[in-house]
Structure 1
């Protein structure tokens, strides 16, 4: 379908139940187009209780095409917006400004859920002729902040701005991060890097801003964490397609980490189905502690047991807020990482190594160490190499956790519990073990519970300290 300059056309269609994950609606852009404006609507019929209704996402690809890998990608707003525009000099949040090349463009429709009656849509496309504006040269946040040298740094690596389905600007998120005592944040908008240049003014000597994406597939979500500025990571595949390995390599080649997000979430398409062979870490705690997080913790701990018994790579855990809008709390939870400095490279290295713990707020601090009789010691994410029968002293120090209980967990399960802590929130725990008895030790700090044997809501947990030699 072709358009005359300043012309408006309406595109209609109906998607039946069982439609493909992505449907492409072509339209022609003539030479000399200054602006493309799109609005859309779809029907929302009544459905029986427990049956998903209609939900339709949208994005756009330019004349370079829709092939996987995103050469033609120009923006995605999912279901967060009913209209958007693109020009050379500007674009709706979530979309990329740039030249409007002549040729066949495609609207990308994502029928997230389709009612039994089907989903009827109507799209209005308006093309305005005129001289193009000048595309701005993107300026990205710096890859380092002042920092404190080698130290523990607090961050939230799963945050959404108004460049996807969040409601906060980067500046508003940065202000909340500073108020939460964070040293670093990570941009994780869904399926678009459009926010990346808009974080430059939010960064500063006191706040490192890392860039990336939450890749939102139909078989789970994954953080492309700390990639090079402007990196686009495609989301249009399922586990059965066998392409995730190449996507994970792309993320790592762009300097980032592959971190499955909220792997046990039960929303449509949210639960992780790709396995963890390509993961660099996993988001075990997402937002306020829920049964989903408890399930993710149990699954992660079972994977730790398998890794230490079979000689595989232990997968570090993270925690992030996934904050979108009020009243979501930035920094609940936060990952506290031991890094050589407040730089992108150093923070990512600490996260990849598991030199980190997760806490509900800036007030909570946790220190977990294992010490051999000769004075050698190891902290979270590290290994204390010692013969199997070597006596090892495990020490846990906690502050900021009033009335919380302390737990030490090994590959044999929970082996020691102490508490509750006094109202000061400060306490410690000492335990003697050997590498033969415990291949690893990790700590949990739990709030009080009134549900008998059910553990309380998490206040903090650590990655493990590993004991003994590495198993071949």
Structure 2
């Protein structure tokens, strides 16, 4: 065992003496993992020829622990003799794989002979240790024909160049969600979305389940939530069937390799909920590889406020990473499309949506009821929209204009690298236009926020919407 994300390999479970046609064979493995165990513990299984199905069940003890101490939590997945075959984390107590079907989260396909590895992930271990039992059953006999996955199309009908609404962080029964893809798609339509991205934890096994729910009115992008022990990252809009590994920590300096894999697969690298407080959720890999960052995750909380301020601070230092917001919905009562990212794209296609997100031509709203328009102009016919740059001399007068609909009893705020330089209450009906004049010398960028009244005196109110910035000179857009 070496390093924080090191692995321990247990003794091999052998079924070598079994012969095809002998029915089911079962082996049971028991053990105890101490506190400080490696992140991954592998149980090798020698699978002989003639197996039509692998079935694995597991259980572990959950002893009482002192207040403030983490108890036992044990994840599980499996790798075959060639590589990844599935992951369910702590969402399931058993799974199966065969050529024509598999438990959600696992990849259907032949159960080939060779050394398979059941992967145990001791997420947290109680002071008493983590006692576990793994039951492995091989079922022999002829295999059914392999069922090839059908993936959703990469283009929907769309409206040409327009603003499209999407939610790019969603879970279903294919990881730790409780909704089916069809149910999530129905909720996305109800929320007024034009596109969504499926992002199951550490598995691509659900990619083939989305062809049916897709349609001319709803574009489905594919992806994965890469769930490491030092933060989560969305592999957003990747090629069908793309798997991205998660078995590393920040101190190993390996994330850049996997970020490049995401991009080679056509996707975006999006750190998720970077300041979340759940164990292993806070992002610790830095933003050097990020294409976009998820600043708003689910209903607005203090975590999101910290993420927004950290993102804005980076803008002030000249580091431009576009922001987005997503629901991270798992189950009822989680609301799909709360919040949602509204992106300007040439059409409703995978290529165009990803290009709009990467360029920061987007804003985030709590629902489809909220719409924004945000521009800057120099009075000479030159204008810049969200995510764009208005080239102007330092002393050029610039008029910034924000138009809002669907935000009753809210206040508009215009934020620059110096902070919030202009606020204005919106009309009670929530529809109105706010204008402010500045110069590039006074504000290197301007972005807009729409907020409700403060809940805690002295702190900003809950966010209703925010934009990516409009840059008023070139230096603010540096990525140094």
Q: Secondary structure at the match of 1:138?
A: coil
Q: Distance in 2 between matches of 1:351 and 1:193?
A: 22
* Paired position in structure 1 for 2:10: none
Deviations 1:203-228 (A, max 9, x none): 00000000000000000000000000
Residue 159 in structure 1 maps to residue 170 in structure 2: yes
Give the aligned partner of residue 210 of structure 1: 221
Q: Give the superposition deviation at 1:451.
A: 2.4
Of the three residues 274, 295, 300, the one matched with 1:284 is 295
Question: What SS is found at the alignment partner of 2:312?
Answer: helix
CA deviation profile, 1:111-133 (whole Å, cap 9, x unmatched): 00000000010011110100011
* TM-superposition CA deviations, 1:158-208 (whole Å, max 9, x none): 000100000000000000000000000000000000000000001000000
- 1:46-65 equivalent positions in 2, closer than 5 A: 46-64=64-82
Match of 1:316 in 2: 322
Give the Å deviation of 1:469.
3.0
Q: What residue in structure 1 maps to residue 9 of structure 2?
A: none
Which segment drifts farther, 449-458 or 10-19? Answer: 449-458
Matched, 1:275 2:286: yes
Aligned counterpart, 2:39? 21
Q: 1:273, 1:470 → 2: CA distance? A: 27
Instruction: Give secondary structure in 2 for the equivalent of 1:212.
Output: strand
Aligned position for 1:69: none
Q: Please, what TM-score do these two structures have when normalized by structure 2?
A: 0.95
* Structure-to-structure mapping, 1:84-233, within 5 angstroms: 84-233=95-244
- On the 8 A contact 1:335/1:359 being kept in 2, the answer is yes
Give how far 1:422 is off.
2.8
In structure 2, what is the Cα distance between the partners aligned to 1:232 and 1:398?
Answer: 40
Q: Displacement, 1:373?
A: 2.0
Quote the Cα distance in structure 2 between the aligned partners of 1:50 and 1:359.
36
Contact 1:217 1:238 in 2 (8 A): yes
Q: 2:397 aligns with which of 391, 394, 412?
A: 391
> Could you tell me which residue of structure 1 aligns to residue 347 of structure 2?
341
Classify the secondary structure of the residue corresponding to 2:212.
helix
Distance 1:135 1:413 in 2: 58
Match of 2:14 among 2, 5, 18: 2
Which of 379, 388, 397 is the aligned partner of 1:382?
388
Select which of 363, 372, 377 maps to 2:378: 372
Q: Which runs of 5+ in 1 are unaligned?
A: 65-71
Contact 1:282 1:315 in 2 (8 A): yes
Residue among 445, 449, 466 paired with 1:440: 445
Which SS does the other structure have where 2:14 is aligned?
A: coil
Q: Secondary structure at the match of 2:258?
A: helix
**1: CA distance, partners of 2:219 / 2:228:** 28
Q: Which runs of 5+ in 2 are unaligned?
A: 1-12
- In 2: Cα distance, 1:470 partner to 1:454 partner: 31
Equivalent-residue separation in structure 1 for 2:340 and 2:455 (angstroms): 26
Q: Displacement, 1:423? A: 3.0
How big is the shift at 1:453?
A: 2.2
**2:468 corresponds to which residue?**
463
Per-residue CA shift, 1:338-377, capped at 9, x if unaligned? 0000000000000000000000000000111000121100
RMSD over aligned CA atoms reads 0.9
Deviation of the 1:27 alpha carbon: 1.2
CA distance in 1, matches of 2:254, 2:372: 39
Secondary structure of the corresponding residue to residue 202 of structure 1 = coil
Query: Following the alignment from structure 1 to structure 2, what is the Cα–Cα distance between the partners of residues 31 and 468?
Result: 66
Q: Deviations over 1:47-88 (max 9, x none)?
A: 000000000000001122xxxxxxx10000000000000001
Matches within 5 A, 1:395-410: 395-410=401-416
> What corresponds to 2:5 in structure 1?
none
How far off is 1:240 after superposition?
1.0
1:77 & 1:396 partners in 2: Cα distance?
45
* 1:355 paired to 2:367: no
Matched, 1:264 2:270: no
Q: Tell me the SS of whatever aligns to 1:384.
A: coil
1:444-455 aligned within 5 A: 444-455=449-460
Checking the alignment, whether the CA contact within 8 Å between 1:386 and 1:469 is kept in structure 2 is no
**Aligned mates of 1:464, 1:106 — CA distance in 2:** 48
Distance 1:222 1:148 in 2: 30
* Distance of 2:457 and 2:39 partners within structure 1: 44
How many angstroms apart in 2 are the aligned matches of 1:304 and 1:117? 46
Q: Aligned partners of 1:412 and 1:423: how far apart in 2? A: 29
Separation (CA, whole Å) in 2 of partners of 1:241 and 1:469: 35
Number of aligned residues: 459
Cα distance in 1 between the residues matched to 2:410 and 2:280:
35
Matches within 5 A, 1:244-259: 244-259=255-270
SS at match of 1:94: coil
Aligned residue for 1:201, secondary structure, equals coil
Shift of 1:452: 2.4
